[in-house]
């Protein structure tokens, strides 16, 4: 898995942050407060770009 990137909207005293990583099969999203917790994965090619 690629390196995790924190949302650009994260900052200040608000600790509710999401992180995104690109994978060879799509992408992954996790809660930055719980980096060892569950990860939501999104397969590539499933985005509706209309």
pLDDT tens digits along 2-26: 799 887 766 556 667 889 999 888 9
Q: Which residues are within 8 A (CB) of 19 and not within 5 positions of it... i.e. 6 or more apart? A: 4, 5, 6, 7, 29, 30, 31, 32, 35
Strands 40-43 and 26-31, bridge-based pairing:
antiparallel
- Mean local confidence (pLDDT), 45-50: 60
Q: Judge if pTM exceeds 0.85.
A: no
Rg (CA), the chain: 12
């Amino acid at each position: 898995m690629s390196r995790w990137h924190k949302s650009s909207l994260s900052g200040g005293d608000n600790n509710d942050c999401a992180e995104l990583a690109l994978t060879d099969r799509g992408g992954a999203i996790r809660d930055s407060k719980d980096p060892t917790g569950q990860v939501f994965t999104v397969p590539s090619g499933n985005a509706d770009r209309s």
